[in-house]
Amino acid sequence: MFTLTHLHPMLVHFPIALVAAGFLLELVYLFCKKEVCLTKAGFYLLILGALAAVITWLSGMFFTAKMEGIAGQVRETHELLATISVVLIVIAAAIRIYATVKKMDDKKVLKNIAFIIYGLATLSVFATGYFGGTLVYNYMMPL
């Protein structure tokens, strides 16, 4: 039977995949400047990743069980990293949206700031996923 506690594990893979793939496209664009489609695809994946991250973060905050002991400590680290990830992703998306709306895509300063934040967000998402996986495999899965 489906319960709301299943929602977070079902959603969690979307921001990981969207943010990682989007950042990878932006990274490839650095070496292939002629392929503008790469940065546009990275931009759209960032926007979708930001939406997915917010929804996933909310599902984790409201629909997952509380934990105690070492598992509780790992969960707190996971929550902190998830919050940092969401904030970084939303900031990167906001900067890119602002630059696009104001037709400032050619301004390298804003795009470089967004790229750096996007990279930090990607690393943060990976760290968040690591601690989430630790929770699942070390503390919640029966052997």
141 CB burial (10 A radius; 0-12, 13-18, 19+): exposed
Average pLDDT of the segment spanning 66-94? 95
Judge whether residue 143 has pLDDT over 50: no
Grouping H, G, I as helix, E, B as strand and the rest as coil, residue 66 is: coil
Give the number of residues written for the chain: 143
Answer yes or no: is pLDDT of 45 > 60: yes
Indicate the pTM of the whole model: 0.92
Annotate 33-48 with DSSP letters as a single string: TT-HHHHHHHHHHHHH
* Nearest residue to 50 via CA among 10, 23, 77: 23
Average pLDDT taken over every residue of the chain: 92
Q: How far apart are CA 6 and CA 13, in angstroms?
A: 13
What pLDDT score was predicted for residue 106? 66
